[in-house]
Each structure stands twice: as structure tokens, then as C-alpha cells.
Structure 1
């Protein structure tokens, strides 16, 4: 219930106060009776600030347009004048959508604030809070100081209604701090009153007194008697709670006198019942009877059936407290009769008697059971506490177990990922997956594969003259680059043995033009070795290299059960090794099989037949250059070798 928005509508409408008597109809719950001022003004605001007839006219104008409706001012007026919460929400959403599309942040702020009002009226406090926070965002965006203050107070009101005192206090203070920067006004007084009322609701009487006194001073300064009446009423309750009975009596009498000047008799009747509740809770039964009886007297005089029923109910409760059961039952019967008459039921007297007899018998049964319930109450409480304690132990145990399981799973997952990563670095991707899924790798035959071997000349001499660290650093320099080159051309590294490097094209997956691709890699390796002698003078060793290549079929697979290694076997592999050993420094030596596959793309020099161990006389060729110049530029390899 938002006192702030309501009071904004009242600023130029003091004459409307006389309407309060006809619109104050809400009976508040006993634990929330000090929102009387807010409730009264909230009800009034709906009858005064909103004009359904004007809203209908505006809707006719809005929907008469043939084009897309983007008249933000009309939408805002419709939302302001609608009375139905669903309609307020509907037109507020239309306003928000249109204003966002047009980039009008001011209207977007107004749309979200109206949407919050509609949702709050429906009782959807969660969604109302979201809308008010949106309105606060846009108020900050356009630097609307009053809008910022109003949105904060709206948020505080929602938190208050939901029972969240800490947040209500936080946002009330934000709104109040902003309003204090201007002159004293009804909105500022209203915000202070609401904050004080919240503290009163939770029993923090000291803070409630500070805020309510300041609100009263502002209402007096701006000449707003209705605000003063309720501020003084709350001050009366506060002083009663603090034990200042004389001051409480003075405050309450002044509040009631102001309400009488405003002819707000129904509010007086309701307020007296609320005060009777207060003194009843404080243990002052005599004053509780006085206020309840006076409320009944005023309600009878003006025919306020709602408040006659409320007064009867309170008197029944008070007589029951002091042990006057018969008197209590009589007032309870009167309460039921008036309650049902307000509801306009048929055959009021007959049905009231029947219901009264039933409810009185129920009440007597409750009295009879009360003593037995008190005896059992302590045992029930102890049982519940024990059950809660055991439940908490169970929950805590499950929580600890869940944490342990999650930590263990994380460690297992981490180690699994690590082992898989290492396995993929050792073996080809497909082979690694097969090994992880089945625990073994099936050897496979590949019909068309090209195998490349390299060997450094003079490696033995360098190994004798260099330290082990320098020698390893030099070899690592060359082999690291070889790895990048073969990866670039899609080849598979098989292994290194000392200063020998071995790779293949066509395993573990078949590859088209495998001989041509491995030839490009061989030329690039050769060029890299040549350039390294010129550019890396600080390197410990500058090797010359021999390369040999052969093509054909072979077997590939994983050997061993520990320290897995992917390897290839067959006559093709042996012949490739022979091609390397029969090569010369800075040359690529290939077999007849490889020559037949690359002769159209590369210029080769026939060497004739050369004797190979265990093979006899074998034809060999030196690869000299790439025939197609465009291929040179695309693959980044030289056209000829020196």
C-alpha cells in the first residue's frame, strides 16, 4: 500500500478528504492494524486519482489509429486511470514496449512504476518488486531525483508488506534521504510515517518514535490534518508500549479529535478496536474494554455493521480472558449475527442461530481440550526438537558425503583427462581413441603409404666435440621444426631414433597424393636445414641432412603393453631406410615406386641402379625441383636445390 503515490494525487485535492467516509471499508488483520493511514489513503486514491470513464475514452482514441499505436502519453494516461489491476498491467506493458522502441526512458520509467502498482494490487509482490527495481534503474538513468526517491519507497513498501523488515528499512531510508534534499512535503512525511509504521510493527519502538514524530511535524507544517491524525494515533500506541500512559492518552485523544473534525467516524471506530487490541496485548484489560465499548457505541450510532461486528468480536475475546464465559458467548453470538448480516445471507436470524450454536459448541470443546493440550505441548515441542536435531545431523552427513564424492569425482576426472591428453600426444588421435575404448589396437594394413627417413651427417663428430646439453639442444631445434612441417602437410610422425627422424603419409588414415604431400614436406625440411646454417650461428651444431623416401604397402599398429608406441613395419619401411642411407648430403633420394607417383609434379635426376644390401641393384632418383611454379608459391617450397 503506497502512501507516497496516493498523497501525490491529494496535493491539489484537499476537498476530496470528505470522501474518506464512503471508501474506508477494509478490515485490517489485528497484527497489521497500524497501516490504517496507508490503507485509507490507498482506497481513496483509487476512487479519486483513477477515472475509468476517462480511461475508456482514451482507449477508444488509442485503438482508433490505423497505424501501430505509439502514442506514449495516451498509454500513460490510460494506465494511470485504469482501476482493474489486470488492465493497469496490460497498458503499462504496452507503454514499456512502445517507449523502449522509441528510446523514451522517461516514459519507460513511468511504465515500470505503473506495472509495479498493478502487480501489487493483484498481490503478486515478487513481480511487483521486479517492476519497481526496473523503474529505479530508469529513474537513475534519466537522473530523476524524485523518481529515484519514489521508486525506493515503493520497493520499501513491498518489502514491508512481505515482512522483510531489513530490506524495507534500507529502501525507506534511501527514499527518505533523497526526499530530504528538497523541501518538507507530504511525500516526505508519508515516507517517514511508513518507515515508523514498519518499526512499530516489529516492536522497535525507539526507531518508530523518531520517524513518526518527524512525520507528524511535517504534516503539521504542510497543514495535512489526516496525516497528523494517524501520526498521533501511532505515537499513542508507541507511548503506550513505552509505558507513557498519560502521553499515549493525550496523543490518542488528539488523533480521534482530528478524525472527528474530518467526519471519519468509520475510521475512528476501526481505530478504537485496534487500540483495544494493543492494550489487550499489553495486559491493560480495563483500557481494552473502554476502547472496544466506545467503538461499539460509535458503530451503533452510525450503523457501521462491519465495525459493530469487530467490536462484538473484541468484547467476546476480552470477556473470555477474564473468565466471563456466558458474557463472552453472548457477544460472540452477536458478532456472528452482524458478520452474516453484512454478507447479505438469506434467513439471517435462523442461520445465525444454527451457526452460533455450532460455533459455540466448537468453542466450548476447544476450552475443554485446552488444558489437555497444554500438558501435551511440552512433550510435542521436545519431540519436534529432537526430530529436527536428528534431521539436521542427517542433512549435515549427506552434505559432507556429497562434498567428498564431488571432490573425488573431480580428482578422477582430472587424472582421466590428463592420461587421455598424454595418450593423444603419444599416439595418433584415432588410435588413441581405439585404445581407450577397447584396451587394445588392431594392427592394420595400408596399401598406399609413403615413408620418409632423415639422418644428420657428421652427428658422431659433433657428439664428441659438444657437451650433451648442447647436442640435445641442437637436435631438439631441428626436430621441433620437423614436427611443425609434417603437421602442416598432414603427415604422421612415427618416431625418432638418435639423429634419425621417421614420418609417413597415409597412416593412420588413407591419404590421396601421399607421395606428393610427403615430397613437399621433404623439400621444406631441406630448405629449413639450409637456412638454419645461415641464420642461427649461435646454435651448437649445424648439421647437413640426408633424406630418403619410398612408397608402397605396410602394416601399422601399437606394440607392447607398457610405454605404448605406434609403429610401422614392412618391406616399404626397410626400402625407405635404404633410400636414406644411399642418399647424399643435402639431397632427397627416392625409389622407383615413389618416382612413378611424383614424376609429373617434380623434376628428378635419374641415378641409375645402385646396389642395396639384401636387395641387389635398385634404381634411384634425386628430387631436384617442383615443376609447377604456382605450386611453389602455394606450398612455400623452393623450385630447385643447390
Structure 2
């Protein structure tokens, strides 16, 4: 059984301590290995192999855990022991899930579910469907996750398994919390609470109470949040969650305005984190503690932030540095040290950009998972269709053999058969042509036409170097703030509106769109066939984007969010090609791409910022404004120019 928690809901799995390796667990592994080597090849041996696979996974021996689960599956299949087969597939899926191989986990758990359904095993179905819900939750597919959790809850209720029902209710509550539907989240957490009262399990009770505390804090009901966090504290005083509980109590007291109580809780949390060597919790406690001393004690605040910075860097994670550098910049500014404030403001901006890229990568992985899942579903549908066709052919053949014994009806049956075959062939050909056209259109949407033809002909695409292309980046100003405050449907609708228009503009100027990354739009002029007007087409496309954004703001559409935009352009050599064989994607690489991205990040709202290399190509045709040399991360000082107006028309 696996339980998923997003960071906002306490961020650890239930019973994590039970999964930690230890001496007694190693002894049990050795004991089971002895039984495997000497025992009979029967259903009891299948169960032993499955138990051994679970222990090996908990002991982080993942390769051996998968190998053992495979042996259990092989033996169970030879014995036609379906329940053993189902649990073997479940165990191997858990290892793949822990590795982040979600599609492999999905394969194993889907097969496991089919086996449990055929037995039938109600509790096994509840468990696997719950795991599938967690898989979709982790991949960011919240509707599918919720659907699986609700199905799992139905089977758990049918099996009258209170423990399984409790874990599923936690997952449903967490999803509604992520969707900001706090009343529904509380409804499912409260259902969970009614069951935990009878289970006598402090860890489940702890997560129930801390989940409620989190939801009420997000709702702004700090008194209720404080109540539940205080109730949870004595239940987890000997667990890793104790430090987090103290930190949250300090955070809520700070929101209420009781600074002394907040400092007291945060100091206790800091001592607990240090004593238990919890580096992450140490940083999470120091950040709010530093903020409390920003106004009153400059030296103490700075020392606290510097300790947090040191611990964060030891963990080799940049996620906390954003808050640390922001706090240090604010502290220096409050006390008049403006040079230091500016220095840490620069570090804050750099870490924020880095964190945004990490979050974007997570979103891309989630979208890639959905895309790969859709392809798998299409493959399954195709196999089912082929099986239906084969079954039809076999049935028709039997009918023809039977008809040979009846001479009187032979001609009639033959004519009917020929007619059906003609109709079937015609319909099948139409389906094949339709699917072929669909595949062609889909491929051309993903890849340039020349690249798509090469991929179809040779099965792969050679990487190509282009000596001079023009790369263009756009980015919406303040998008992160919009994303936090807007409803998901409104945000997606607005981004789709702008990007759809961008696609039209790129097609008009024969500029190749490469990809979108969150709210960033990336394209290149000069692919796949370079031309003498490439740079001018890119600049004209940029002007039209700016004009479109300004016109959109003037229309004041109430159903769409209005953004400002930054644009950056750079010209130079790149390498282009297709990455992967099954999950292929067309992309470009090179320093030219990185500089184009930096041009965008250093641009201003409504402005087109270009590099020196692009300026040298267009300076005679466009009125450009020299901005001076600007410091660029990892590049040093670079000359930049704003493109203001066009002198002459050089596009044919």
C-alpha cells in the first residue's frame, strides 16, 4: 500500500518508519532467503517470494526486489495461482513507482488489477486501485487520481477494511486540498478521523490531525488550525513528524500575532531538528525564525539566515535558498545596508528563476506521462481491434467450410461471403486511410516536414548543425503570481488564447515553433531550410506579437487574463535533432539558445531585446537602442539592444 502527500499536506508517506532498514529486518530477509533455497515449489513458496520482495524493497535492494517478484510471478503462473500472480505484479510495480518509472508501474498494476478482478479479490482490487490513484496524483493527473481513489473507497467499504478506507480517504482529502476545495477536503479528512478513533494507530491519527491543521491554516481559520496541531503534538513526540508539527505551530502563532509563542515553538522545532539531524526541517524552521527577528534584532536575523543557507547548501538543494535570500535582502534593506540588500536581491532572483525551471520540468514530466499513457491506450485499442478482426476471419472461415456440405446454398452463401468481404475490406481500408492521415497530421504537428519524412524513411533522424539561425523566446511578465491566484481553468484558457495566436504568427512568417515551457514560448527562424531573410522574419514576428498583446489589453476581455510580455532574440549556430526513439521530441541545442533565453529574461515588458550578433545583421534596416553592457548569469557582460522601429521592408 502506498500513500501520497503533496508538500502542502505534510510531505511524507504514512508508516515511513516501518520501511526503514534495520538489523531485525535483515535477519528476516536472510531467513526468507534460506526458505527460498530449500523449500518446495508450491503456493506457499510464491507467498514467501512475495514477502521477500517486499522486505528487499523496504531495504532499498531494488534490483533484487524486482528479480524476486519476477520469480514469484513465474512460479505462480506455472501453478495457476492467480492471487500470487497479482501480488507479485503489485510488488514489482511498487519498485518502479519508487524509481519514478510511472509507466512501468502502470503496466504492472494494470495487469495485477485484471488478475484480482478475475479471482475476484475485493481487498486486492481496493489496494491496487488506490495505488493507481496515487500514481496519477504524483503525475499531476488529479481528475484520474480522484476517480481511482473513489473506486478504491467503494471496494474498501465492500471489503469492510477500515484501514484501507482510512488511507484512501486521506488521499481524497489531499486532492481536494490541492484543488483549493477546502470544505470538501475537510469533509473527507473528518470521515478519516471517525475511523482513526477505532484503529488505535497514532501515526494515522497524527496525519489526520495535521491534515486538518493544514487545511484550516490555508482557509485562514488560525484558531482551528492551532487546535488540531496542538492535539497532534503529543501523538508524534517520538517520530520525525514532531519537528514539522512544532514548526507549523510556530507558523500559525506568527499569523495570529503571538510572536513570543511563535519564537518558543520555532526554537523547540530547531532543537528537535538539530538533535535528530533533520536538515530539511532545520532549514524550514530557521526561515520563519529569521523573519521574526528582521525588525528587532539585525545581527540575530542575519546569523539565522546564514545558518539556514549553510544547511541548505549542504543538502545540495536550491528550493529553500529562494526564501533565505529574500529574507536576507529584506533584513539588510530594513537596516539601511542597501548594497548588501541589492546583492542578495540578485541572488534571490537567480534562485527564483532556477526554481521556476525545476517546477517547469516537473510539469513537462507530468504532461509527458499523460502523452505516453495516451499512446499506450491507443496501442491497447489497436491490439483489441486486431483481435476482433482475427476472430471475425476465423468465424467466417468456419461458416464457409460448413457451407460446402450443402450444395444448394453454396452459391448463395459464397455470394454473401464475398459481399461481406468486399464491404469489410472497403471499410477496413477507409479506417486505415483515416488513421494514416491522422498519424501524418500528428507527426507534422510535432516535427518539421523534412524531419518527419526522414524519421518515416529511416526510423531515426541525424542531428544537424546550422551555422546561423535566429532563436526567439517570449515570456509573460509576473506569470508565477497569476498562476498562484487564478483558477486553473481561467489560467489555461488565457495561455491557450495567447499561444494559439502566436502559432498563427509563426506560420505567417515561416518561423518554426519548437516548444512551450510553462508560459515560455520558443521558436526559431531558419529551420529546416536557412534563408537570407531569417532574422528579419523573426524580428517581424516579434513585433506582431507585441502588437497583438497591446491590442488584447485594449479590448479588456473580462473572461481572459491580460499579460505583459518580454521578448528576447539571438542569432548564431545551433544543433537540431530528434531525441529518443519511443518518446521522441524535436529540439535545438547550443549556446545560441541559452543567450536567446537570457535576452528574454533581461528584456522589459513590451520590448524586444536582441543580442549583439542579431543587431549586426539588422542595424541598417531597424532603429535599435543600445542598452549598454548588462551582466548575464554564466556569461558575464553582454551588449544588448532594444529594437524600436523598422526603417525599410526587407521581407519578400
TM range (shorter): 0.3 to 0.5
TM-score normalized with structure 2 length: 0.46
TM-score normalized with structure 1 length: 0.47
